[in-house]
Amino acid sequence: IFIWILWNQNIHESEASQINGELRSSVTLPCSYDVKYHGMVSMCWGRGKCLASFSCNDILLTTDGRRVTSNVGPKYKLYGDIERGNVSLTIHGLNLGDEGWYCCRVEFSGLFNDLKQAISLGVYQARPFKCFSDNGSTDSVAECQSDSQLSKSRSDSTFCRFMNFTTELDREMCNGSGAAFPAKKIIELATRLLSDVTVWESVKDSERQKAASRFLETMESAVIAIALGLQKDGETNWTHPTLDVQIGFIKRDNIGSDMMTLQAKGNTLNVHPSTVIGDDDSALLAFMSYSDLESIMSANLEKDESTDLQKPQQSQFYSKVVTVTKGNRRSHELNGTVNITFKEIQGKQGGVTDSEKFCTFWKSSAEGGYWSTSGCRLTTSNGTHTECSCSHLSSFAVLMALYEIEDPFHSPILSWISFIGLPISLVCLLLSMGTFFCCQSIQNLNTTIRTHLCLSLFLAELLFLVTSSINKRTVFCSIAAGAVHYLFLATFVWMLLEAVQLFLMVLNLKVVNFSRARVIRRRFIYPIGYGCPALIVVVCAAVNAEGYGTDTSCWLNLEKGFLWSFLGPVCFVIVVNAVLFSITLWILRGKISNLNASVSKINDSRMLTIKAVAQFALLGCSWVFGVFQVQEGTIVMSYLFTTLNVVQGVFIFCVYCLLNSKVRKEYWKCFSRICRPNKAKMSDLSTSTLNTTNTTNVVALKTVNVNSLKPDVSWMNSDVPETLQN
């Protein structure tokens, strides 16, 4: 008797623990020991409490310290590292008969020192819907529910009021009975979020996405909780301005070959009942559609690197958001597929090809969530409806690309055009700037304006090439995007100044007295040329700093129409230039024939037409195609826009350098000095003598004509633009 009492007192029995497992799921009962101290020893798992015996009662599984030596069936598994003392037992396919006590007994060497761990296992029927209380409060909810004075103003915000309401609704739904949960609660929930979506405009984007995710999850759980209280055959539906819900009930005995069809706000769900019911005897399926939820949610797509589909980084909603859920919400996977026909949002129909639409589902995350195409594909589409097929249940929507999606054929070609053409354009711009700076015979205000135009365009294209290979979504990328924005705007402002100067020069052809000539003062061109673009960029950055930089390039973000901060000024310059050039050509057509012989020599119609058309193309015609590219996204516009932009530098060099006779003479003189230096010296001496003689003749001629009654317009030769001097 003394030995028996001593034995019972010295066997190490840990404090009993309680473990709960969900019906039909798996559960792990923990048990472990210190192998370094005790060595590898045998052990056993048994049913019932740990009794004072040399082994387990009702043995389920045994080990010898290295491997499992016996097992009553595949229901019981040891997944831990046995040789390191992890002998936790995993029980698969829990049923109500698995409830009760379990004993883990480790047989250490020596007398009266075995380790015993008693565990009580409970099996519960899981809720068919998810409760937030199961996972605890999120950081957002905890912050909103804080009573501290510092967060008092935040707790009264639109976001926190909504999150607190969903928490109260979740508590009422999960702590009460499904039959007692009223349908009016989901109407109130939808009204809270969707009755006035304008109040969410001032809420941060991240908080809007969190609120939308919370709303969708709560709606799924609430609809199931309400439907479980109904438990009837056929269909049930609720209609409200903010929400349409239709619920279908399925019983295995009634399954035939017909498809089940549910409708909500013009959207249709088609699915075979066997896809939904699975192995159960009955099931319910709910289909919901919301009004204006797309105004709150983001249309961001998940970037999937594993597919060949090049998804656009910017997209917008092409349909209403819908939700499909079934009675056992803990499993969203299906044996087959569901087909959803979306009614496209009014005003979005037409002009969009199937390749620009995406069937997507909402994927919740810690940051709120995003749209993913995984498991969904577009089957058919027409002018008003789009059909999607998905292999799981969730919240769905059709998204539309804001611009043409890259395809494997055209995208590489456009890239090659850019990265081959831009360096050529940069070289031509560099040659043009060198020519304008060094060639004294063409020095005037037009040349100064043109030099700064080339400088702005050169820096913009160079920065574009440099930033094409850096990491996107960085501070440097955002700064670079702002710099490129500024430089391109400066280019267009200098283009506008050049058009104005050309217009004034043509007007001055009718002026006899130099004092009445209209010209742009040099002291004004620099503040206008560089100050106006800087003002636009500063205002844009102050209003929307996040608009600089995207996931794909260091350029302007397409969201919220931010691209128009560039396209707006561009369109203005294009319109003004078109008007100025039209008036200029009209004046030339009517007045040039009335000029005296010395000026009428510039009336070379062919050269004038070529230069006017080239200059108009230079002043922004290519960017007209850029506007159409953003609006339409056609591949033709993409080719026109890309090609014309990369050859702008070539245009400038050809029109203002190669086609200018004075510049060609300077090029020839420079070439002659390099290739034939001795002959060039003799040529320069002869030219100098000839120029001296000509100067004397001109002076004498002017002396003779002092009293001439005809107006002397020779002063205009130095200010007439090169487009007229040839």
pLDDT in tens, 331-342: 567 778 999 999
The CATH number given to whatever domain includes residue 119 is 2.60.40.10
The CATH number given to whatever domain includes residue 613 is 1.20.1070.10
At which of 65, 91, 124 does a domain end? 124
Residues in the chain: 726
Q: 320 with 288: CB under 8 angstroms?
A: no
Q: Are residues 102 and 144 in the same domain?
A: no
Q: Are residues 276 and 221 in the same domain?
A: yes
Q: State the pLDDT confidence band at 376, using cuts at 50, 70 and 90.
A: very high
Cα 160 from Cα 408, distance rounded (Å) = 46
Kindly state the average pLDDT of the residues 441-470.
87
Task: Determine, yes or no, domain membership for 726.
Answer: no
Kindly state the average pLDDT of the residues 626-643.
65
Q: Are residues 77 and 116 in the same domain?
A: yes
Residue 233: per-residue pLDDT: 56
Tokens read off for 688: 């100098």
Q: Are residues 587 and 488 in the same domain?
A: yes
Q: Please give the span between the terminal C-alpha atoms of the chain, in angstroms, as a whole number.
A: 128
Q: Does residue 612 register a pLDDT over 70?
A: no
Q: 51 — alpha (psi -120 to 50), left (phi > 0) or beta?
A: beta
* Segments forming the whole domain that contains residue 164: 132-401
Q: Are residues 324 and 357 in the same domain?
A: yes
At which of 401, 433, 464 does a domain end? 401
Question: Which spans in 237-327 are helix H?
Answer: 273-277
DSSP 430-469: HHHHHHHHH-GGG-SHHHHHHHHHHHHHHHHHHHHHHHTT
Q: What is the 3-state secondary structure (H, E, C) of 64-83?
A: CCCCEEEECCCCEECCCCHH
Q: Are residues 201 and 96 in the same domain?
A: no
The CATH number given to whatever domain includes residue 385 is 2.60.220.50
Of 11-20, 119-128, 357-366, where does mean pLDDT reach its minimum? Answer: 11-20
Q: Are residues 353 and 369 in the same domain?
A: yes
Q: Are residues 520 and 577 in the same domain?
A: yes
3-state class of 174 per DSSP? Answer: helix
DSSP 598-649: HHHTT--HHHHHHHHHHHHIIIIIHHHHHHHHHHH--HHHHHHHHHHHHTHH
Q: Are residues 274 and 350 in the same domain?
A: yes
pLDDT in tens, 122-153: 887 666 666 765 554 556 666 676 544 444 45
Q: Are residues 150 and 242 in the same domain?
A: yes
Nearest CA to 509 out of 451, 585, 588, 455 is that of: 588
Cα 662 from Cα 428, distance rounded (Å) = 18
356 or 524, which is more confident?
Answer: 524
At which of 337, 371, 401 does a domain end? 401
Q: State the pLDDT confidence band at 455, using cuts at 50, 70 and 90.
A: very high
Is this model's pTM higher than 0.75 or not? Answer: no
Q: How are beta strands 115-124 and 12-22 bridged, if at all?
A: parallel
In sequence order, what are the beta bridge partners of 102? 47, 119
What residues contact residue 8 under an 8 Å CB cut-off, 6+ apart? 52
Q: How much of the chain, in percent, has pLDDT values that exceed 90?
A: 21
Task: Determine, yes or no, domain membership for 533.
Answer: yes
Number of separate domains in the chain: 3
In sequence order, what are the beta bridge partners of 376? 390
Task: Determine, yes or no, domain membership for 406.
Answer: no
Q: State the pLDDT confidence band at 10, using cuts at 50, 70 and 90.
A: very low
**What is the enclosing helix (H) or strand (E) of 267?**
strand 267-271
Residue 203: per-residue pLDDT: 85
Q: 720 with 603: CB under 8 angstroms?
A: no
Q: Rg of the chain over CA atoms, in angstroms?
A: 40
Q: Are residues 441 and 578 in the same domain?
A: yes
Of 116-125, 126-135, 316-325, 440-449, where does mean pLDDT reach its minimum? Answer: 126-135
Task: Determine, yes or no, domain membership for 724.
Answer: no
Cα 526 from Cα 534, distance rounded (Å) = 12
* Residue 420: count of CB within 10 angstroms of its CB: 11
Tokens read off for 171: 């508590």
Q: Are residues 421 and 516 in the same domain?
A: yes
Backbone angles phi, psi at 375, to 5 degrees: 80, 0
Kindly state the average pLDDT of the residues 52-78.
89
Residue 184: per-residue pLDDT: 81
Buried-exposed string 133-154: b where 16+ CB fall within 10 A, e elsewhere? eeeeeeebbebbeeeeeeeeee
